[in-house]
């Protein structure tokens, strides 16, 4: 982990390239976090990857989380790793839910989804993981080469890992209740 001054230096370096990218820094349980503006995510990642003395060239994990009822509601976490110094830094892009405060109450047929730039060009490993975040949270990664659902069926409706998605809302077909769902095989 970078120490707190090191984290501030990183934040400063990113800010120099593009104003308003880093919103906040935090050190929690020894985990350094940069909270960044979603518009500047690619700038922050490129800077961390390509600045020689940083060298965070390995993306160990990309995952999303839903912070309901907080706003901004969603966050995409990038767990970056510098393998030379065994240092990890977490970049967290906070995303506002565009459907929040929607007056139409879901009547609009086009669902509004949070969007973020894809980092597959920077870190090819993000391919499956961005698809996973899209599948479970409905976060659209702009520029992803093949953004489809990955674990859920292709025709599935809804974003199951969101906090407002109920657990166990789906009927499961067993032999004993097969009779209640006539012609289920169609």
For binding to another protein (CB under 8 A), which residues are involved? Answer: 28-31, 57-61, 63, 65-67, 77, 79, 83, 86, 88, 90, 123-129, 132, 136, 145-146, 149-153, 160-161, 163, 165, 167
Burial (CB count within 10 angstroms: exposed 0-12, middle 13-18, buried 19+), residue 34: buried
Rg of the chain's alpha carbons, rounded to an integer? 20
Taking the complex as a whole, the smallest distance from the CB of residue 79 to another protein amounts, in Å, to 5
Alpha-carbon distance of 94 to 142, in angstroms, equals 16
Q: Is the CB of 12 or the CB of 27 nearer to another protein?
A: 27
Query: Considering the complex, what minimum distance in angstroms separates the CB of residue 86 from another protein?
Result: 5
Pick between residue 46 and residue 125 the one whose CB is nearest to another protein: 125
At closest approach, how far in Å is the CB of 139 from another protein?
Answer: 14
- Closer residue to another protein in complex, CB, 18/57: 57
Q: How far is the CB of 11 from another protein (least distance, A)?
A: 19
- 41-65 core/surface letters (b: 16 or more CB in 10 A; e: else): bbbbbbbbbeeeebbbeebeebebe
Alpha-carbon span 45 to 61, nearest angstrom: 13
Which lies closer to another protein via its Cβ, residue 30 or residue 101? 30
């Amino acid at each position: 982990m970078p120490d707190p001054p090191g984290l501030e230096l990183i934040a400063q370096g990113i800010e120099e390239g593009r104003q308003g990218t880093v919103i906040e820094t935090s050190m929690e349980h020894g985990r350094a976090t940069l909270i960044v503006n979603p518009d500047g995510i690619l700038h922050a990642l490129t800077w961390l990857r390509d600045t020689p003395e940083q060298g965070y060239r390995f993306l160990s994990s990309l995952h999303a989380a839903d912070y309901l009822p907080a706003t901004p509601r969603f966050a995409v976490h990038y767990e970056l790793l510098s393998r030379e110094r065994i240092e990890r830094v977490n970049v967290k892009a906070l995303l506002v839910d565009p459907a929040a405060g929607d007056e139409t109450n879901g009547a609009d047929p086009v669902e509004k989804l949070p969007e973020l730039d894809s980092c597959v060009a920077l870190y090819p490993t993000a391919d499956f993981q961005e698809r996973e975040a899209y599948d479970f949270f409905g976060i659209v990664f702009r520029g992803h080469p093949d953004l489809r659902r990955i674990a859920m069926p292709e025709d599935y409706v809804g974003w199951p890992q969101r906090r407002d998605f109920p657990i166990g809302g789906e009927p499961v077909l067993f032999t004993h209740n097969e009779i209640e769902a006539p012609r289920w095989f169609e």
